[in-house]
Amino acid sequence: MIPAPAVGPRVVLVGPMGAGKTTVGRLVAEQLGVAFADTDVLVEEAAGRTVSDLFVEEGEAHFRRLERATVEAALAEHRGVLSLGGGAVLDPATQADLAPHLVVFLRVGLTDAVKRVGLGTGRPLLLGNVRARVKQLLDERAPVYEGVARVVVDTDDRTPAEVAAEVLTAVTGGER
């Protein structure tokens, strides 16, 4: 068991799109009896627009500024399970902010990621060839995810419940 930080989330889930951060995060939160939050949803609520609309209308740089502020606040205030958007960990300040937290990288391979995201509808970074773009994002970001994570959980060929059970073991050491 890895001790929870004195403040902030019990566990932070990171990984690329299609890793199952939202699905697994909800299951883990339910098992722990705590709230679940997804920073992409928090950004959308604060901005009054979808992530896709923010990318198209304001550009990625604007979205990343909103995301950074949202992640910073959630790491300080949220006490449950927190899922970060796939690109949030690219910000060096976010990487530093994650250091005291239990961060779990939900690792997904290319084949499973592509199956899960489908044609990428509503995912602004997947415009064009979805498979090639997912591969590029996985290759670029995997070292960053591994660098911020204390625990890595593979998700390929596993159900969300199986992945959640492994995350729960990391959080609780098997005790709840």
Question: What band does 175 get if pLDDT is binned at 50, 70 and 90?
Answer: low
pLDDT of residue 118: 57
How many CA atoms are closer than 13 Å to the CA of 96, on its beta-carbon side?
4
DSSP string, 131-161: HHHHHHHHHHHHHHHHHH-SEEEE-TT--HH
The pTM for the full model equals: 0.86
Which is nearest to 71 in space by CA: 48, 95, 55? 95
Query: Domain holding 126: CATH number?
Result: 3.40.50.300
Q: Is the pLDDT of residue 97 over 90?
A: yes
In a domain, 121, yes or no: yes
The percent of residues in the chain predicted with pLDDT above 70, rounded, is 82
The number of C-alpha atoms within 13 Å of 87 and in the hemisphere containing its C-beta is 18
Total number of domains in the chain? 1
Mind listing the pLDDT tens digit for each residue in 154-173? Answer: 998 899 999 999 999 999 88
Q: Which two tokens stand for residue 35?
A: 């709230």
Q: Is 135 domain-assigned? A: yes
- The tens digit of pLDDT for each residue in 106-130 reads 988 776 766 756 544 444 444 555 6
